[in-house]
Amino acid sequence: MRDYKSIIQRLRSIDLNDDSKTEDIRELLSQLRYPIILSNAVAGSFVTRARRGHGYRNKKDMSYRPSNLCNTYQRASLPNHTVFYGILSDDERHLENARAIGISECSVLADEGINSSGREYIATSQWIITKDITVACIISANSYKDVHNNRLLETLRQVS
Per residue in 45-102, pLDDT (tens digit) is: 899 999 999 999 999 899 888 888 888 877 667 788 888 888 887 677 778 888 888 8
Within 8 A by CB and 6+ apart from 39, the residues are: 88, 134, 135, 137, 152
DSSP for 9-34, please give it.
Answer: HHHHHS-TT-GGGHHHHHHHHHTS--
Q: Residues 50, 124: contact at Cβ < 8 Å?
A: yes
Whether the model pTM is above 0.85? no
Q: Assess whether pLDDT exceeds 50 at residue 106.
A: yes
Q: Are 109 and 118 in contact (CB under 8 A)?
A: yes
Q: Is the pLDDT of residue 142 over 80?
A: no
Is residue 40 scored above 80 in pLDDT? Answer: yes
Per-residue confidence (pLDDT) for residue 1, from 0 to 100: 39
Q: Are 128 and 49 in contact (CB under 8 A)?
A: no
